[in-house]
Structure 1
Amino acid sequence: MLNVDVRDVAKAHVLAMTAPGASNKRILLVSGLITPQLVANVIRKHFPELRDRVSEGSPDQIYPKGVDPTGWDVSGSHEIFGKDWGYRDLVESVTDTVRDILSQEKQWESKKH
């Protein structure tokens, strides 16, 4: 239920090889919470043309019943990687992914004909 964009993970791996403070450290990479409902909410908001393909679910119930997420401390990543380090948020991760999927879908459709 914790989210981090794969591009941020890749960048962290590269930085970890060059940042002196990263040696022998475990660095928590978390940009925020992710649940199926949050993903559905983002897709339905930013891609209205997909509303018939993405179930609405329960937009106000972000977590499944009985789930109470705790906080996380990512200050270590900011300390080690510097003031310019930051994470892509869930909206950017999901919208970029959906755009890529739609692009691939168009290519697949064009090859069918």
Structure 2
Amino acid sequence: MDTETEPGTTGQASRIFFALSDVTRRRLLDRLLDNDGQRQAQLTAGLNVSRQAAVKHLEILEQARLVTVDRVGRAVVYRLNRFPLRTIKSGWIDRFTEHRVRIDCGP
């Protein structure tokens, strides 16, 4: 098993956090959350990035498994994949956001 590609592992977590570090990629995810299953031109319209930059951003999201790509003929449709985000949230982020009671008995 390749631990670098399994959800929740350090390699996969790093790809997810890297993908989320860019505002343009977060906007793309927001757009898919609002309207899933969009073609590239529709998804990237009005983002003020070149076509090449848009393709690179979408490739990074795909490598992080935050989007899936359906190819039907020449049409390419992007869909949001929430599973990696859920895995990161439950496996790492929740550790920092859970309320924990700590009792110190020392002076």
Question: What is the TM-score with the length of structure 1 in the denominator?
Answer: 0.27
Larger RCO (CA under 8 A, 6+ residues apart): 1
